[in-house]
Amino acid sequence: MKISKSIILSVAAVSIMGLTCPSIVQAESIDNKIANEEQNIKKLNDKKAATDNSLADLEAKIKTLTSETDELLSEKLKLEKEVNNLTGEIKELEQKIEKRNKKIEEQARSTQINQEKQDIVNVLLDSESLSDAIGRTVAYTKLVSANNDIMEAQKEDQASLEKKKTDIETKVKEITEKAAILKDKQEELEVSKADQVKLANEILKNLDDSKNKKAGYEAQKEEAKRIAEEQARREKEVAEKEAAAKKAAQAAQKAAEEKLESEQPQSLGKPTGDKGSADNSQSSGGTSYASGYQRPLSSFTITSGFGGRQDPTGASGDFHDGIDMAAPAGTPIMASKGGKVVESSFHWSAGNHVIIQHDDGNYTYYMHMNAPGASVGKTVSAGEVIGGVGTTGNSTGNHLHFGIATGIWSGFMDPSPFIGL
């Protein structure tokens, strides 16, 4: 099995794509945003209804005030008409008074009414007869009475004029006061109406914004749904292809293992021929060689050597950077050399695996375990069990992929010479 730099970069690229693609969590987040906007829209609609009610109330008040204004204007017009009529009456009265004054002056001159009371004696003395004296006396009395009546009428007319003037002044004052009150009410209502209209416009704007946001989130949701469906379809296709390839590879490996089991191993030495197609049963696990390394399994069959080969699943390219050692599931895997565990985790291709750093600068790799048996940071000794054979990750059957490298996932070397193969 081979885990090349290109595969690592491919996995990283897939991971980055996974971060940018809409996930279930992102879909739930969009649903929450849509729900929040729906609540906001409901609140704004409630505010809009309250504002509409306030505007309707203001319109009713303005209508009432307009009616009161019309009544006041009608009253003002009526009063102005009365004022005009009264002005005419005053002019007529002034003309009457002027005429009366002239008449009194004429009568006074003709009868010398401005003389003292005893002048009536002169009237009697000047009379030629008793009947003439009586006539003159009666005429004189009537004249004085008439003049007194005229004077009294003039006083009454003057008093009426003064009263009408006072009434006009009072009514004009009332109209002025009512007009001032009306103006204040109009200004207050106009200010209130302007505030309500401004608030209503703000609510409508916010309502439009929320509706647009909701529409945007719904579009995002639909797009996320489409991408998720497309991604699921592709993943299904890949899974089906991998399953088919794995099934074919398992069948091929099973056939190879059955063939190997039917043959007698010739030796425990290093196999001859192409290591990429090696097919030998081996044992002697636990024996240390000159290199200081030992075999990680006590008994195994090499099913794929180091070097060029076609990966059965097609996922790891055409170069194998270790050797595959087939063995029953759960077979103990031992540390090939003492060192410190620097990686113990799961990888999509390596499956459950452990990497140990050694004092000679090399690293040994143990892949496809059923479960790692050593944690990061632990110091292990050569031959110490660190896991069991399995078939996790990119694997077609139970085996251990064993590798030796000069770095982490780099600088892989053929491990066969290190363990006497």
pLDDT digits (tens, 9 = 90+) for 71-107: 877 877 887 787 788 778 778 877 877 787 777 777 6
Do 336 and 364 contact (CB within 8 A), yes or no?
yes
Q: What is the mean pLDDT of residues 379-392?
A: 95
Lowest mean pLDDT among 182-186, 191-195, 330-334: 182-186
Cα-Cα-Cα-Cα dihedral of 390, 396, 397, 400, to 10°? -50
Distance CA 243, CA 23 (A): 25
Q: Is 54 domain-assigned?
A: yes
Q: How many domains is the chain built from? A: 2
Lowest mean pLDDT among 199-213, 285-299, 379-393: 285-299
Same domain assignment for residues 299 and 196: no
Give the residue from 95, 102, 94 showing the smallest Cα distance to 160. Answer: 94
Domain boundary among 222, 248, 280: 222
Q: Is 7 domain-assigned?
A: no
Domain containing 66 — which CATH number?
1.10.287
Lowest mean pLDDT among 176-190, 225-239, 307-321: 307-321
Same domain assignment for residues 217 and 274: no
For position 270, what pLDDT does the model report? 35
Q: Which of 121-125, 283-287, 400-404 has the largest mean confidence?
A: 400-404
Radius of gyration of the chain (CA): 62
Q: Is 367 domain-assigned?
A: yes
**Phi and psi torsions of 156, nearest 5°:** -65, -40
- pLDDT top residue among 50 and 65: 50
Counting Cβ atoms within 10 Å, is residue 3 exposed (0-12), middle (13-18) or buried (19+)?
A: buried
Lowest mean pLDDT among 21-35, 93-107, 337-351: 21-35
What secondary structure does DSSP assign to 180-223, as a single string? HHHHHHHHHHHHHHHHHHHHHHHHHHHHHHHHHHHHHHHHHHHH
Q: Which residues fall within 8 angstroms of residue 184, CB to CB, at 6 or more apart?
A: none
Same domain assignment for residues 187 and 283: no
Same domain assignment for residues 274 and 218: no
For position 101, what pLDDT does the model report? 73
Distance CA 277, CA 98 (A): 150
Domain boundary among 196, 222, 248: 222
Same domain assignment for residues 195 and 307: no
Same domain assignment for residues 66 and 211: yes
Same domain assignment for residues 282 and 215: no
Buried b (16+ CB within 10 A) or exposed e, 364-386: bbbbbbbebbbeeebebebbbeb
- Token pair in block for residue 201: 């416009």
Q: Which residues fall within 8 angstroms of residue 127, CB to CB, at 6 or more apart?
A: 133, 136
Cα maximum dimension of the chain:
200
Do 57 and 263 contact (CB within 8 A), yes or no?
no
Same domain assignment for residues 214 and 277: no
Lowest mean pLDDT among 47-51, 110-114, 277-281, 339-343: 277-281
Do 41 and 207 contact (CB within 8 A), yes or no?
yes
Domain boundary among 189, 222, 255: 222
- DSSP, collapsed to helix, strand or coil, labels residue 1 as coil
Query: Is the pLDDT confidence value at 64 over 60?
Result: yes
Do 326 and 399 contact (CB within 8 A), yes or no?
yes
Q: What is the mean pLDDT of residues 137-151?
A: 70
Give the residue from 244, 312, 245 showing the smallest Cα distance to 276. Answer: 312
Do 279 and 303 contact (CB within 8 A), yes or no?
yes
Lowest mean pLDDT among 102-111, 183-192, 269-278, 326-335: 269-278
Per-residue pLDDT band at 239 (split at 50, 70, 90) = confident
Give the residue from 324, 295, 302 showing the smallest Cα distance to 382. Answer: 295
Question: Structural domain of residue 340, as residue ranges?
Answer: 270-419
Q: What is the pTM for the complete model shown?
A: 0.37
Q: Is 229 domain-assigned?
A: no
Percent of the chain with pLDDT over 70: 72
pLDDT tens-digit map of 258-305: 766 665 444 333 333 333 334 455 554 556 676 899 999 999 999 999
Cα angle: 190, vertex 193, 196; to 5 degrees: 155
Q: How many CA atoms does the CB half-sphere of 114 hold within 13 Å?
A: 7
Beta strands in 249-398 (DSSP E): 280-282, 300-304, 307-308, 319-320, 323-326, 332-334, 339-347, 351-357, 363-372, 379-380, 385-389
Q: Is 232 domain-assigned?
A: no
Q: Is 19 domain-assigned?
A: no
Query: Is the pLDDT confidence value at 122 over 70?
Result: no
- pLDDT top residue among 371 and 97: 371
Same domain assignment for residues 217 and 295: no
Same domain assignment for residues 274 and 217: no
Lowest mean pLDDT among 26-30, 41-45, 67-71: 26-30
Q: Is 194 domain-assigned?
A: yes
Domain containing 405 — which CATH number?
2.70.70.10
Q: Is 191 domain-assigned?
A: yes
User: Angle at which helices 130-262 and 24-111 pack, to 10 degrees?
Assistant: 170
- DSSP, collapsed to helix, strand or coil, labels residue 325 as strand
Same domain assignment for residues 217 and 89: yes
Distance CA 399, CA 404 (A): 17
Same domain assignment for residues 198 and 281: no
Query: Is the pLDDT confidence value at 321 over 50?
Result: yes
